[in-house]
């Protein structure tokens, strides 16, 4: 009965969509009518396969220890759906359903399981699923999800990834006065998203779907960027560049031996921006689309830096800079010639300058166009941030107070007596035993914890 219960909730009826949220968020309000859905007008990129490298930044996580123990005890050394205990349905996204689950006999190992019915998707959406699988399998970063296992059962693809109990940033904004965050909180979130985008660009991945709805909050209050189905990949050539900059401190005896002018130091910077990336697809969320993306003339990685400017603007002001009375009006404002308008509220000049330089309509003149995140990190808005230590920064108070509340929400869902459907599915799986659609696991974790 227990196994059947899990199978029913793993593969529910397509018409049973009582919760409308997405990916790994625990908040059911994140994908309501207040949120903005992503659009796809065309999609023509190829889908190269991606290797599954080791993950040194995550291999000490307790979830890996639990998976190692479970697979060691497994008869074939692999992880199966029978190892997972479903707790509740988290939401329904563009490509599939997401469930909160735990590894059986390891109560501390909590995950989100994204289930995609391949038979229900068009070829275009299947290519998006493959793109997301390729990217997830390559990620190893504190602000990006970890793919613990990729399971294929019949015509279902299941992705076992991190669960974020804090919901998403869009929901957090909706709970704030005037839907806006204090300046220091904006700096915290913007800095972490900047580092995540820098990492993606270093892999040759152009994200194209940045918005608060896709920024999830981990248990510790730090961010996790989600949803990679609208990405495209390009070649990237990493470079080491040297530049001089004034030393932070002048030695107290320097004036005794020279003119006293500021001492220059030579610094080496790692730059890996996919400057040759090019696509003509129009995808994303309309309020966050860059002008070159709306025009359809082709775009590259600069669309992420435009969206980053819109993202900071929304966190500071509670709305996006080009929002009109309709989607069409918003798109006209984006491609128009008028400057970015800022509310009369007093916000630091450094923040306004950063947004103005990111929201430049010409992608060649946009901040980040040449050297990516390296240029943006130098901006005075981020002055004082110690980038190598950012993952150890203390989250804002708005997030810390929310973490304790959300821990109480992790519980099991009530069984629903709809046995006819799962019986039909189990019967189908048994009949298809030995066929190409029988159980077959692609276990990413086997190469990820060495």
Apex 437 CA angle, 126 and 81, nearest 5? 85
Among candidate residues 301, 242, 307, the one with its CA nearest the CA of residue 273: 301
- C-alpha separations of 95 from 39, 117, 135, 413 in Å: 13, 8, 16, 23
Q: Is 97 helix (H, G, I), strand (E, B) or coil?
A: strand
Q: Could you tell me the two tokens for 112?
A: 């989100």
Residues 137, 147, 391, 360: what is their CA dihedral angle, to the nearest 10 degrees?
50
- Residues 395, 403: Cα–Cα separation, whole Å: 11
C-alpha span between 9 and 414 (Å, rounded): 11
Helix (H) or strand (E) holding 422: helix 419-431
CB-CB contact of 272 with 372 (8 Å): yes
Count the Cβ atoms, other than its own, within 10 Å of residue 327.
13
Three-class SS of residue 90? Answer: strand
Is 143 within 8 Å of 226 (Cβ atoms)? no
Rg (CA), the chain: 23
Buried b (16+ CB within 10 A) or exposed e, 404-420: eebeeeeeeeeeeeeee
Could you count the other beta carbons within 10 Å of the beta carbon of residue 50? 18
249: which 2 tokens?
């401190």
Active site positions, annotated: 209
Instruction: Give the count of beta carbons closer than 10 Å to the beta carbon of residue 178.
Output: 10
What strand order describes the sheet that includes 149-153?
A: 84-92, 97-103, 106-117, 156-162, 149-153, 440-442
What is the rounded distance in angstroms from the CA atom of residue 144 to the CA atom of residue 131? 15
């Amino acid at each position: 009965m227990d196994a059947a219960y899990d199978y029913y909730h793993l593969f529910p009826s397509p018409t049973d969509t009582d919760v409308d949220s997405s990916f790994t968020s625990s908040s059911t309000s994140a994908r309501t009518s207040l949120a903005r859905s992503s659009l796809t007008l065309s999609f023509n990129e190829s889908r190269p396969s991606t290797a599954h490298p080791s993950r040194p930044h995550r291999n000490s996580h307790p979830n890996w220890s639990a998976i190692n123990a479970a697979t060691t005890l497994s008869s074939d050394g692999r992880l199966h759906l029978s190892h997972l205990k479903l707790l509740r349905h988290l939401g329904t996204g563009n490509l599939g359903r997401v469930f909160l689950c735990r590894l059986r006999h390891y109560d501390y190992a909590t995950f989100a399981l994204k289930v995609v019915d391949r038979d229900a998707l068009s070829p275009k959406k299947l290519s998006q699923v493959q793109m997301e699988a390729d990217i997830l399998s390559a990620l190893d970063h504190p602000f990006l999800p970890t793919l613990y296992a990729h399971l294929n059962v019949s015509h279902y693809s299941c992705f076992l990834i991190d669960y974020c109990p804090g919901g998403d940033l869009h929901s957090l904004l909706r709970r704030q006065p005037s839907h806006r965050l204090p300046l220091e909180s904006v700096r915290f979130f913007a800095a972490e998203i900047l580092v995540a985008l820098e990492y993606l660009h270093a892999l040759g991945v152009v994200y194209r779907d940045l918005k608060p709805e896709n920024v999830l909050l981990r248990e510790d209050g730090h961010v996790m960027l989600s949803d990679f189905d609208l990405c495209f990949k390009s070649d990237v050539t990493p470079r080491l560049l040297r530049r001089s900059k004034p030393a932070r401190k002048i030695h107290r005896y320097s004036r005794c031996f020279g003119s006293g002018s500021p001492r220059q130091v030579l610094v080496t910077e790692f730059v890996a921006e996919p400057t040759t990336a090019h696509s003509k697809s129009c995808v994303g969320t309309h309020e966050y689309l860059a002008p070159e993306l709306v025009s359809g003339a082709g775009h590259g990685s600069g669309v992420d830096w435009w969206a980053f400017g819109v993202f900071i603007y929304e966190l500071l002001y509670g709305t996006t800079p080009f929002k009109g009375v309709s989607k069409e009006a918003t798109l006209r404002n984006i491609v128009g010639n008028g400057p970015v308008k800022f509310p009369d509220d007093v916000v630091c000049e450094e923040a306004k300058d950063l947004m103005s330089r990111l929201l430049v309509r010409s992608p060649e003149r946009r901040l980040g166009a040449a050297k990516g995140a390296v240029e943006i990190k130098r901006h005075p808005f981020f002055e004082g941030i110690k980038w190598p230590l950012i993952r150890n920064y203390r989250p804002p108070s708005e997030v810390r107070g929310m973490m304790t509340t959300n821990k109480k929400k992790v519980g099991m869902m009530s069984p629903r007596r709809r046995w006819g459907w799962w019986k039909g599915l189990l019967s189908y799986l048994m009949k298809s035993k030995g066929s190409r659609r029988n159980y077959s696991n692609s276990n990413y974790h086997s190469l990820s914890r060495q």
